A and B are shown apart, each in its own frame.
Chain A
Amino acid sequence: MESFITELLTLLFAALRSATPVLAVVLGEAMTQRSGVINLGVEGQMLLGAMTGFAVASVTGDPWLGVLAACGAGTALSMVHATLVLGCGANQIASGVAVLILGGGLSAYYGIPFVGDKIDTLGNLNQTFVSDIPLLGQFLGPITPTVLITLLAIPAISIFLFRTRLGLRWRSTGESQDITRNLGHNPVPYQLAAIAFGGLMSGFAGAALAVDYTANWVEGMTAGRGLVAVGLVIVARWNPWYALPAALLFGASEALNLKLQSWGVDISPYLLATLPYLIPLSVLMLSYRGLRASGGGMPAGLRVVFQSAR
């Protein structure tokens, strides 16, 4: 029994670590969508963030500089989406795919010299007092800084969104641009900030993956995490608090995949690797049923995006 609980807790904390990059994207994308803009380019922004973060960490030897650079890269790339959507009035889905391809291409192109480099990691809580806590210490020890930062972002975003005047306007922009305009507020700065914040978080997510979690750069290494995150935003009902369990879904499926392999389960690793896509997709299906009944907190301004093709 005790070993079962230990095993379960190990799995949970492994899930938390592998969920962190996805969680960061879910939080950022939820904020973007709250302003009435959807950005599928987060996948590309995440890749560019991962590559830039890893490259900077490798060249300067300072992983924290890498994290900062990754945030910058993600934000910069998200401005392409902002220009197309807010500046030119282009279709948001198409623009997102363009950013996705651009981010994938840029990271593959400029990442070539850094493949196989070794970098210093950000460390973890093992060196601190936390690992001395009885019983829980062994689980809390391997937690890394990006996990903590991402977890702290949840209450911060929640307070901003639901407890400040600015957050109220942010949300109202997503519900109806017309009404926002009639109230004398220009929606564009809010949407610009929302896209930039999504860019920042996806860049950070890239660093969380490449600099912190794997300490490695491989072309296309995000493997759809950004796109899974866009789906999980719906599961999370655009609510930062629900983002954690939603992202843990991905983390748990990935941790389960690795765990089953280490247990020597006789299933092909390629089939097991479909779990992190199929499980979120299944939950998304269940989630949509509720969404249909109640509206489920979807920003009304987003419906327009989802319903127009061109």
Chain B
Amino acid sequence: MTTITQPFVRFGLRLLGGPTGAVLVMTATFVVAALAFFAINGRESIPLFQEMVMGAFGDSYSFSETLVKTAPILLTALAVALPARLGLISVGGEGQLYLGALFGTGAVLAAVDQPGWLLMPLMLAGAMAGGALWGVIPGLLKTRLGVNETISTLLLNYVGVLLVSFVVHGPWKNPNSLGWPATIEFPEGAILPQFFDTRVHMGLVFGVVAAIVLHILVTRSRWGLGLQVSRSNPRVGATAGISYERNVLIVMAVGGLLAGLAGIAEASVIQNRLQDGLASGYGMTGFLVAWLAGQHFLRIIPLSVLMGGLLASADSLQLYAQLPKASADILQALLFIIVLAVASLWARRREA
């Protein structure tokens, strides 16, 4: 009997020791942790957990809301994963998202009378420029002065949020909004296309296309190879004519540009205007997703959908189960902690 089962047992153990096992352990631990979190707070864990899954993927409406949340997460995660290819740890997705919304809205307000075929490209170009600007600044600080990009991006996030507050409370405030700090509603021509009568919008397409293009560029192109060389040894790269400094600026700018698109999509489709509290937290969630995906562009896509589901279900639970919105943050953090712990332990064991 044992001789028959032994190969299976051995195969099972090997599977557990590899990445599949790590993912299984992560998932199981997270489910237990989430159930425990609900139980500690006096909730009926299992029904609540079921409701969460249903709230994210239960019917076509909830799934569409999941995809609505997926778009900014996906784009901001790419804004983290691309700099990571060069060994940079950027946490600036949030600020870049806000700057994208700011500049994109600026373009809309400046060209508000123009027809859609002109207005839309102007808006998107503005958004990309704004996001890229908020990526290039920490990039320049890094290359010119050596300022750690993690700290500068984190601080610039707060500045970005305040700049949006400034314009919506001040110069761009709609005089007819009865004191509500927001710009005028975006005209028809500045609303990104949506699909199937839902709020799912072009931003999702931008994200998926960008993930695939970046994956191909990084794994198949000369430039991608250059990033790898630059990362492992900037000096060797320099002798081959690969400028580390230029690559830092490129990855930070492109990352920022993508996060900027997320920002204008939120303003245009979800809010129809620029206002305070545009999209709090998507930048951090994007950071988390990029790490969960191991900075792998294609893996970011399904993980963004999963995380979008978590946020969407948190919204519906807030409505139906009076579960505070912060529970989504706690669950995200628990997931991140578990994944970090398990991944690091597994990596350490492989080395041993």
Residues of A in contact with B (beta carbons under 8 Å apart): 40, 80, 83-84, 87-91, 93-95, 97-99, 101-102, 104-106, 108-109, 112, 219, 223-224, 227-228, 230-231, 234, 268, 270-271, 273-274, 277-278, 280-281, 284-285, 288-289, 291-292, 306-310
Q: Which residues between 136 and 153 of chain B lie within 8 Å of chain A, taking CB atoms?
A: 141, 145-148, 150-152
| B337, A97: Cβ atoms closer than 8 Å | no
Give the interface size bracket for B toward A: 35 or more
**Cβ-based interface call for B183 (8 A):** no
Taking a contact as CB atoms closer than 8 A, the residue among A231, A277, A306 that contacts B159 in the complex is: A277
Instruction: Flag whether B288 is at the interface (Cβ < 8 A).
Output: yes
- B267 contacts partner chain A, Cβ-Cβ < 8 Å: no
Rounded to whole angstroms, the CA-CA distance of A309 and B182 in the bound complex is 39
Q: Is the CB of A101 within 8 A of B344?
A: no
Interface of B is mostly: helix
| A-B residue pairs in contact (CB < 8 Å), sample of 8 | A40-B150, A87-B341, A88-B340, A90-B344, A94-B340, A99-B333, A104-B329, A268-B170
Chain A nearest CB, measured from B303 CB (Å): 15
Across the interface, name the chain A residue whose C-beta is closest to B343: A90
**Partner pick for B158 among A83, A94, A224, A310, CB 8 A cutoff:** A224
**Distance A40 CA – B341 CA, assembled complex (angstroms):** 17
Bound Cα distance A98, B325 (Å): 18
B340 touches A227 (CB 8 A): no
The chain A residue with its CB closest to the CB of B328 is: A105
Cβ–Cβ contact A90 & B340, under 8 A: yes
For the complex formed, measure the closest distance between the CB of A26 and the CB atoms of chain B, giving whole angstroms: 13
Residues of B within 8 A of A230 (CB): 151
The residue in chain A whose Cβ has the minimal distance to the Cβ of B160 is A274
Q: Hey, which chain B residues are within 8 Å of A224, CB to CB?
A: 154-155, 157-158
Q: Nearest chain-B residue to A94 (Cβ)?
A: B291
CB <8 Å contact, B155 and A289: no
Report if B87 contacts A (CB, 8 A). Answer: yes
CA distance A268 to B167 in the complex (A): 9
A251 shortest CB reach to chain B, Å: 16
Q: Are A98 and B151 closer than 8 Å at their CB atoms? A: no
* Residue numbers in B under 8 Å from A219 (CB-CB): 326
A-B pairs, 5 with minimum CB distance? A105-B329, A108-B326, A102-B333, A270-B166, A105-B330
Question: Cβ of A101: which chain B residues have Cβ within 8 Å of it?
Answer: 284, 288, 329, 332-333, 336
Residues of A within 8 A of B334 (CB): 102
Interface pair B145/A285, CB less than 8 Å apart: yes
Q: Which residue of B lies closest to A284 (CB)?
A: B147
Most buried by B among A234, A284, A292: A284
* Contact (Cβ within 8 A) B166 A268: yes
- Please tell me if B247 contacts chain A, counting CB pairs below 8 Å: no
Interface status of B271 (Cβ within 8 A of chain A): no
Known contacts A101-B332, A109-B330, A281-B152; is A89 also within 8 Å of B344 by CB? Answer: yes
Within 321-352 of B, Cβ neighbours of A (below 8 Å) are at 324-330, 332-334, 336-337, 340-341, 343-345, 347-348
B residues near A, CB below 8 A? 84, 86-89, 91, 141, 145-148, 150-152, 154-159, 162-163, 165-166, 169-170, 231, 284, 287-288, 291, 294-295, 324-330, 332-334, 336-337, 340-341, 343-345, 347-348
B105 to chain A, nearest CB (A): 16
Complex: how many Å from CA A273 to CA B340? 35
Known: A84-B344, A280-B155, A284-B151. A105 touches B145 (CB 8 A): no
When A89-B344, A274-B162 are in contact, do A105 and B332 touch as well, CB less than 8 Å?
A: yes
| Contact yes or no, A292 B152, CB < 8 A | no
Report how far A248 CA is from B93 CA in the complex, Å: 29
In Å, the complex CA distance between A93 and B340 comes to 11
Asked if A102 and B337 sit within 8 Å, CB to CB, the answer is yes
The verdict on A109 contacting B326 (CB below 8 Å), with A84-B340, A285-B145 known, is: yes
B329 contacts A227, C-beta separation under 8 Å: no
CB distance from A97 to the nearest CB of B (A): 6
A288–B295 Cα distance when bound, in Å, is 28
Task: Report yes or no: B155 in contact with A84, Cβ–Cβ below 8 A.
Answer: no
Per the bound structure, the CA–CA distance linking A251 and B214 in Å amounts to: 43
A105 in complex: contacting residue of B291, B333, B345, CB < 8 Å: B333
Separation of A281 and B159 alpha carbons in the complex (Å): 11
- Bound-state Cα–Cα, A289 to B146, Å: 8
Inter-chain contact B336/A98, CB cutoff 8 Å: yes
Give the residue of A88, A91, A112, A309 whose beta carbon is less than 8 angstroms from that of B345. A88
Contact of A278 among B157, B159, B287, B324 (CB under 8 A): B159
A274 to chain B, nearest CB (A): 5
**Bound CA span A98–B86, Å:** 22
How far is B290's CA from A93's CA once the two chains are assembled, in angstroms? 13
Assess the A288–B87 pair: CB atoms within 8 A: no
**11 additional contacts (CB under 8 A) given A109-B329, A234-B151, A284-B151:** A84-B341, A94-B336, A97-B284, A97-B287, A101-B333, A102-B333, A108-B326, A230-B151, A231-B155, A277-B155, A285-B141
Cβ A292 vs Cβ B162 within 8 A: no
Instruction: Give the chain A neighbours of B287 by CB distance below 8 A.
Output: 97
Q: Are the C-beta atoms of B159 and A227 separated by less than 8 Å?
A: no
**Which residues of the other chain, A, contact B162 by a CB distance below 8 angstroms?**
270-271, 273-274
Contact A288 B147, CB 8 Å, known A91-B340, A98-B337: yes
What is the CA–CA distance of A281 and B145 in the complex, to the nearest angstrom?
A: 12
Contacts of A89 in B (CB 8 A): 344-345, 347-348
Task: State whether A291 touches B151 (Cβ < 8 A).
Answer: no
Nearest-CB distance from B52 to chain A (Å)?
16
Cβ–Cβ < 8 Å partners of A112 in chain B: 324
Q: How far is the CB of B199 from chain A (nearest CB, A)?
A: 26
A269–B348 alpha-carbon span in the complex (Å): 50
Q: Which residues of B contact A94 (CB under 8 A)?
A: 89, 291, 336, 340
* A residues near B145, Cβ cutoff 8 Å: 285, 288-289, 292
Most B C-beta atoms less than 10 A away, residue of A88, A104, A223? A88
- Contacting residue for B146 out of A95, A288, A309, CB 8 A: A288
